[in-house]
């Protein structure tokens, strides 16, 4: 089981898509193990996007991500990172396929609604940035055996 970070960006919050996007992840079978509404500080945005510091879009990205509240979530599930990224769709809304979050709700290449960790290493790093020790919940859901086939001892 993996846990990944998802951020519903300022445009998703301002456009009122949070509930609809969260429902998509839950409908897919991913488990919300952490969630909060917050405004990202300049310092946190700088840490989160430090890999892009030399890129021309860095300043506008940090400005955008600190401009309004976001919803930060930790989602857990078998292959949660790959599943979440597939559900998000192509980075630019204008290129995203219908049926994906960006394909259904976005057309902008700058405002792309959602962030998701792109690897287990990134997820670990990002989750530590946004959630303090003890903030993520570890609980069994009653539907767990109906989401995954565990007959082989591992989730399928």
Q: Active-site residue numbers?
A: 115
Consecutive H or E run containing 33: strand 31-38
Kindly report each contact of residues 107-114 with a partner whose C-beta sits within 8 Å and lies 24 or more positions away, as own/partner. 108/11, 110/60, 110/64, 111/9, 111/10, 111/11, 111/64, 112/9, 112/11, 113/8, 113/9, 113/11, 113/12, 113/17, 113/21, 114/6, 114/7, 114/8, 114/9, 114/12, 114/21, 114/88
């Amino acid at each position: 089981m993996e846990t990944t970070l998802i951020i519903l960006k300022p445009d998703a919050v301002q456009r009122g898509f949070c509930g609809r996007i969260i429902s998509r992840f839950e409908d897919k079978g991913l488990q919300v193990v952490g969630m909060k509404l917050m405004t990202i500080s300049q310092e946190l945005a700088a840490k989160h996007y430090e890999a892009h510091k030399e890129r021309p879009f860095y300043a506008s990205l940090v400005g955008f991500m600190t401009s309004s509240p976001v919803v930060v979530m930790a989602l857990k599930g078998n292959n949660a990172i790959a599943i979440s990224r597939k559900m998000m769709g192509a980075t630019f809304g204008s290129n995203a396929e219908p049926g994906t979050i960006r394909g259904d709700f976005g057309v902008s290449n700058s405002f792309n609604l959602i962030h998701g960790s792109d690897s287990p290493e990134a997820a670990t790093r990002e989750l530590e940035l946004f959630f303090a020790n003890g903030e993520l919940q570890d609980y069994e859901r009653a539907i767990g055996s109906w989401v995954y086939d565990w007959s082989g001892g591992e989730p399928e």
